[in-house]
Homo-oligomer: A and B are copies of this chain.
């Protein structure tokens, strides 16, 4: 028996709730970084980060740590609408490459679930600055049944 597809597993209410929770937050790291969720679809999260001035370094470019925080955030959220009742998912590791310096503006990201088993998921994240890639990442989430 094949495992359920992302479409079958996807809970649009959880996606809507997470999007609202993220976009309406007035505190927290994602709020500080200016991250807004544009669309949560089965196995995918599209988001935009409007680079805040506070993460521009004296060299005039965005602090890499802001990108790393952005990647971690979308990677950790994309899976929720696919979880079963009582399950949750936590990022356990990731790797990223910075492909070009960012001066500001809007960074569009796509987090894509590449693989999902009962225990783990692998997610890829691409971040674009205009039409060029600014960062690519891939990481692993562990899935847990709450006690």
Contact = CB atoms under 8 A, between A and B. Distances in A.
Copies in the complex: 4
30 contacts: A27-B54, A29-B66, A30-B63, A32-B32, A63-B69, A63-B73, A64-B72, A65-B71, A65-B73, A65-B76, A66-B69, A68-B71, A68-B72, A69-B69, A91-B98, A92-B140, A93-B93, A93-B96, A93-B98, A93-B140, A97-B114, A97-B122, A114-B133, A114-B136, A119-B119, A119-B142, A124-B136, A136-B138, A138-B138, A140-B140
A124 B67 CA distance: 19
A71 B57 CA distance: 16
A70 interface: yes
Contacts of A71: 65, 68
Q: How large is the interface on A (under 10, 10 to 19, 20 to 34, 35 or more residues)?
A: 35 or more
Given A29-B63, A64-B91, 18 more contacts: A27-B54, A28-B55, A29-B66, A30-B63, A32-B32, A63-B72, A65-B68, A65-B69, A65-B71, A66-B69, A68-B94, A93-B95, A93-B122, A97-B114, A97-B115, A100-B115, A124-B136, A136-B138
